[in-house]
Amino acid sequence: MMFRRLWDNKQFVISVSIFIIFLFNLPSLSAAFTQTERYNFQRSIVDFRSRLNPSYMKVQRKKTKYIIVHTSELSLKTTLRVVSKGKHLRNGRRTNGGHAHYVIARNGRTYRILDKKYVADNAGRSMWNGDTHISKLSIGIELVGHHYAPISEKQYRSAGILIEILQDVYDLYDRSVLTHSQVAYGLPNRWFKEVHRGRKRCAKNFVRTKAGLGPTWPYDPDVRAGRLMADVQLSEVFYGQHKIDPQPDEANVISRRNTAWAIAGEDYDSTTTVYKFPNGRQYTGDQVADEVGWNRVPAKTVVRLNYESRFELLKDNGIIKTISNGITAWSLAGKSYDHETTIYFLPSGKIKPGSMINDWDDLPAKTRLIIGYQGPYKLNKDRTAFRIAGLKYKDQKTIYYLPSKKLLSGNQIRDFSQLPIGTFIFLPTTL
Ligand SMILES: [Zn+2]
């Protein structure tokens, strides 16, 4: 009776529920992963060490104080190549690779690039709590993806297990785990008069709790000690009172707060950073200075990192976009990449909406896509293009997929009576 009455009491029910939720969220005192999970994870690591650039000088690390988390800002294939073999520098030279110990793909698959006992050239110009050359003191983990897009759940799981294992090996606590954006610093430039944070934006979207980690430092020790100038946006992200969590779709869009520097860091003026203005014009970072001026980049300009060449930049301009090395579904479609209305045309001839694709890492190069479309509507004798698309059948935005795998806009077709049977039509969702 007594219990029944209690149970009818809303307050009581709420308190019990809150208590149960609390129990399930208690930080576990023991390891978060079982021995079997750890064992299976370690066995699943893909050994990529043989791909390391032979010119990379392997030097044993004397001390391990940190684990540095990065986002690669590249596709899986390019990430693996760059961290193993090296990357081009602005002065025309190349690095010798060895830029990470581990790479974690979007599907959680983890690659070993370099044995953990060696120094990986992962942090560049860096400082933490007075330590400099963080590469010499750290393990580097590269997450495939962009700092302005969410890290996948599977990546968080793998990162969580990997970090837990490494913490045990090197006796590191959660605060030893930092992002590259926390530890990198830059020399004075047009944005800062003194040495400063913000050279890298790497992994500023890394949600520690999702990897089973406790909070980071409550402040930046080098800024507090006056060794470095703070970067306003990064200090809000990592140490702010009200942690800002920018929406991925606006995180790479210029606004008064979100400057080119805040988005691209030291790569703001690089040839591989592309600015797409609201009027549709596109410029690479090096062109902005000469042709526009940094203080005249308009709000709502979209910034994309790591374009491999201007050629690819041009391909991105039209309605039909093409995935290629360095240009991912995310960089083309933004947050719509996995929507039902983003339609992918695979080289095999398969057509899939974004909502039906699971393995984003394995989307082949030359896959084409259109964003904001519905269909397919199959053309046949009784169902002409006009019946399907109405007056818009000749419109540039009406897309035809021919049995020959050719994709054409309505305005590119001269004779509609010659369209083969089996042609599919796709219509924009907003007509
Ligand atoms: Zn990094």
Query: Helices 153-170 and 35-44 sit at what angle, rounded to 10 degrees?
Result: 100
CA of 86 to the centre of ligand 1 (A): 14
CA of 27 to the centre of ligand 1 (A): 29
- What tens digit of pLDDT does each residue of 59-97 get? 999 999 999 999 998 889 889 999 999 988 777 788 999
Give 21's pLDDT tier (boundaries 50, 70, 90).
Answer: very low
Q: Please tell me the least confidently modeled range out of 10-24, 68-82, 299-313.
A: 10-24
Q: Span 137-146, mean pLDDT?
A: 96
CA distance 383 to 135: 64
- What tens digit of pLDDT does each residue of 210-226 get? 999 999 999 999 999 99
Q: Please tell me the least confidently modeled range out of 97-106, 155-164, 420-429.
A: 420-429
Q: Please tell me the least confidently modeled range out of 45-54, 151-160, 305-314, 421-430.
A: 305-314
Give 1's pLDDT tier (boundaries 50, 70, 90).
Answer: very low
CA of 122 to the centre of ligand 1 (A): 7
| pLDDT value of position 30 | 46
CA distance 342 to 362: 17
CA of 340 to the centre of ligand 1 (A): 32
Give start and end residues of each alpha helix (H) in 171-284: 180-183, 221-224, 232-239, 260-264
Does pLDDT of 52 surpass 90? Answer: yes
CA of 201 to the centre of ligand 1 (A): 8
Does pLDDT of 356 surpass 50? Answer: yes
CA of 408 to the centre of ligand 1 (A): 40
CA of 364 to the centre of ligand 1 (A): 26
Q: Span 330-341, mean pLDDT?
A: 83
169 three-class SS: helix
Does pLDDT of 24 surpass 50? Answer: no
Mean residue pLDDT of the chain comes to 86
- Whether residue 71 contacts residue 203, with contact meaning beta carbons closer than 8 Å, is answered with yes
CA of 180 to the centre of ligand 1 (A): 5
| pLDDT value of position 28 | 40
- What tens digit of pLDDT does each residue of 279-298 get? 878 888 888 877 788 888 99
pTM of the model: 0.66
165 three-class SS: helix
Give 248's pLDDT tier (boundaries 50, 70, 90).
Answer: low
CA of 3 to the centre of ligand 1 (A): 57
- Whether residue 284 contacts residue 292, with contact meaning beta carbons closer than 8 Å, is answered with no
CA of 142 to the centre of ligand 1 (A): 7
